[in-house]
Structures are given as structure tokens and as C-alpha cells.
Amino acid sequence: MPMEHTNCSAASTVVETAIGTMLTLECILGLMGNAVALWTFFYRLKVWKPYAVYLFNLVVADLLLATSLPFFAAFYLNGKTWKLGHTPCRVLLCLLTCSRGVGVAFLTTVALDRYLRVVHPRLRVNSLSLRAAWGISSLIWLLMVVLTPQNLLTCKTTQNSTECPSFYPIGETEVSATCQEVLFFLQVLLPFVLISFCNGGLIRTLQKRLRESDKQPRIRRTRVLVAVVLLLFGLCFLPSVLTRVLVHIFQEFESCSVQQAIVQASDIAGSLTCLHSALSPVIYCFSNPAFTHSYRKVFRSLRGRRKAAGSPSSNLRDCYS
């Protein structure tokens, strides 16, 4: 966080325990949900399209994000006491920040891909090969890796080895801190605007084209998927944007109660930015029936039911095609 007041403790056992518990649940759900999705990609999908490539990379990013969460959960459950030293803190923070940024980038790429294919089907970009889709995915990973090391190399740590900047690394200089803030807002607000625009255009186009009664369920399914994507993005990232704005507004206030409230709100909002890794499987289920079938099999297995015999395999036919 950019607001530091060494003489004002922001400790709250209730808030820290709640955040640690939330991160633990996000880790469990994220690992389980995305592991099933990964299995589905390898063993259930018979046809791969660029859309599937982008979703696959989203799954990988969410899995990487989930693997970093147990360490931050322990950090909060131990009263914001870091026991692993500076280097692991920075490495894990880099992993969290990079995978979170990659996840947002691929959510945006999926929305943009569907928008272009449905609203502007004659554009040459819609004829991209799988190799081109993998190339675009590699460029996204490379871009996010290049942007992320600021958080690893310039993040400020204190003399106390038990502290870790957690979700909000602080730049060593005012310039680096400002760059990090600008980068964060661009990584959240720009994708949100693009996703909203693309999904809005997608819905309008489908409503014009699919007026037949037998195709109305397809529109309803698409509407639900659009609503889920926007709700997921808004729930996970907009609170973080709001709290970081409040930090800058109230950073000069001397009141400890105000400082504590802002710090605690920022910690809660920061933990919500990782929630999308646990909720992304909802998007997969609406995108392809193969994922729905895989998750149902897991639920049946967990509930002790016998596996349904002779279930047909699904090809990659998303709800926008």
C-alpha cells in the first residue's frame, strides 16, 4: 500500500482471519476448479480453436495464481507476520501479480475474440490459425512478465524481516510507485471498458440475428455468460480500484481510525482480486458443455455417486458460434 504510518497500527485480528480464510478458500476452489478445466482441455476437447487457446492460457494463469495463495493466507492468519524472508516474499508477490495480470488479459482477449467473430465476421483477423493464437498468447505472457518485475525489483521492504507488502508492493522511489499505480489502473480499467464494450456489441448483434424462437435459448445463455463475466470482473477488481483511490485521497489524514479503515479495506479488496481464479470455471461451463460435464462428474464423485456410463464426448462449440 502506498500509505504508511509507522506510529499507527492497523492490526485487526477479525479482518486478518477473515482474509486468510478467504484466501484459503480461493486457493482450494481455484486449484480444484482449474485442475478439472485443465483435464478437460487435454482429454475432452476434440477440436481446438483460438478461443480454446485463450481459455487454456486463462486456466494456466489461474492455477499459478492459486499456488501462491497459501503463503499469503498464512501471512494473514499469522497476524500479517511473514516468516519466509524478503526473497520469497518478492518472488511470490511477482508470481501473484503476473498471473493475476495475465488472467485479466486473457479474459479481455476472449471477449475481444468473440466480439470480432460475431460482430465483424469478415475481418481477416478472424481467420487466425492455432499457431497465430499461440503466438498471441505468448506475447501476452511476455508483456505481463516484462511489466511485472517492477513489483519484484522495486518493491519496498522494511528492516523487519517479518513484513511483506502483500497485494500492494511499494516502489522505492516516488516515480516507481507512481508507475506501479498507473500500471495497476490501466490493467484493470482498460480491460473492464473493453470487456463491457465487446459484450454489449455481442448481445446487440445476436439479438438482431437470432430472432427465431428456437434460437432464443442461445441468446439467453449468452446474456447469462456476459452477465457472469461482468459480475466476476466487477466483484474482483472494482473494489480494489475504489480502495486505492481512497488511499490517495486520505493518505494525509492523521486519524488512526481512518488509516486503519483504509488499510483493512485495501487488504480485503486485494484478496478479492484473487477470487476470479476460483470463479473462472463458471465461465468455462457457459462456454462449452464439455466443461459442464466434467464438473458434474467431479461433483458426482465427491458425493459418492457412480460415474454415468457412456457419456458422449463434446467438441469445442462455444455458445457464440
What domains, with CATH codes, occur in the chain? 13-299 (1.20.1070.10)
Provide the pLDDT for residue 183.
Answer: 78
**Mean local confidence (pLDDT), 265-284:** 87
Q: What is the pLDDT of the chain when averaged over all its residues?
A: 79
Would you state the pLDDT for residue 316?
46
- Nearest in space to 140 (alpha carbons), one of 120, 122, 113, 166: 113
Q: What percent of the chain has pLDDT over 70?
A: 79
Model pLDDT, residue 19: 92
Confidence (pLDDT) at 3: 46
Q: For residue 79, which of 167, 1, 6, 162 has the smallest C-alpha distance?
A: 162
Whether 1 shows a pLDDT value over 50: the answer reads: no
Give burial (CB, 10 Å; 0-12/13-18/19+) of 287: buried
Q: How confident is the model at residue 6 (pLDDT cuts 50, 70, 90)?
A: very low
pLDDT higher than threshold 90 for residue 59: yes
- Looking at residue 174, its pLDDT comes to 61
Residue 162, pLDDT score: 61
**How does pLDDT run across 205-234, given as a tens digit for each residue?**
877 776 655 556 666 777 777 778 888 888
| More confident position, 141 or 264 | 141
Neighbouring C-alpha atoms within 13 Å toward the C-beta of 106: 33
Instruction: Return the pLDDT at 216.
Output: 62
Ranges 15-24, 99-108, 204-213, 288-297: which has the least confidence: 204-213
Q: Tell me the per-residue pLDDT of 152-193, one tens digit each, with 9 for 90 and over.
A: 554 454 445 566 766 655 555 565 667 777 777 788 888 888
Burial class (CB in 10 A: 0-12, 13-18, 19+), 299: exposed
User: Which band of pLDDT confidence, cut at 50, 70 and 90, is reported for residue 25?
Assistant: very high
Higher pLDDT, 73 or 281: 73
Q: DSSP character for 171?
A: B
pLDDT average, residue stretch 93-111: 89
What's the confidence (pLDDT) of residue 290?
A: 78
Q: Which residue has the higher pLDDT, 275 or 210?
A: 275
Q: Is residue 155 helix, strand or coil?
A: strand
pLDDT of residue 321: 44
Average pLDDT of the segment spanning 297-310:
64
| Mean pLDDT for the stretch of residues 28-52 | 88
What is d(CA 62, CA 56) in angstroms, rounded to the nearest whole number? Answer: 10
Supply the angle between the helices 216-250 and 86-119 in degrees, to the nearest 10. 140
CA distance linking residue 244 with residue 262, whole number of Å: 9
